[in-house]
Amino acid sequence: MTTMTHEGYLATVELDEDAGLFHGEVINTRDVLTFQGRTLDELKAAFADTVADYLDWCRERGKTPEKPFSGTFSVRVAPDIHRRAAAAAAREGKSLNGFVSDVLERAAG
């Protein structure tokens, strides 16, 4: 599946060959945000318009838009992995959060 980003919002994109359209859906908000286009340029413009419309909609209602990512998430791992990660962090003189953040940064590129 192909993804796109705009102002921190992440969307998946699928091709509907029968209709000759690309369909996109923002996946990092609980609100339902979709868009479509026949070309890549149309798709990018529709994505930008959708995000702008969402932000306007929130502003008009006094609602705080969902931030695409807060920077905080919880990960459940086996106790042995937790122990080994904590030990590796200590060997590097880092907190477990700092260590995991560095590992994720390297893995995510």
In tens, the pLDDT along 61-73 reads: 999 998 777 777 8
Using CB atoms within 10 Å of the CB of residue 23, give its burial: 0 to 12 exposed, 13 to 18 middle, 19+ buried.
middle
DSSP string over 3-43: EEEETTEEEEEEEETTTTEEEEEE-SSSS--EEEESSHHHH
- The answer to whether 30 and 54 have CB atoms below 8 angstroms apart is no
C-alpha–C-alpha distance, residues 48 and 54, integer Å? 10
- The answer to whether 54 and 33 have CB atoms below 8 angstroms apart is yes
| pTM attached to this predicted model | 0.66
- Worst-scoring range by mean pLDDT, 32-41, 45-54, 91-100? 91-100
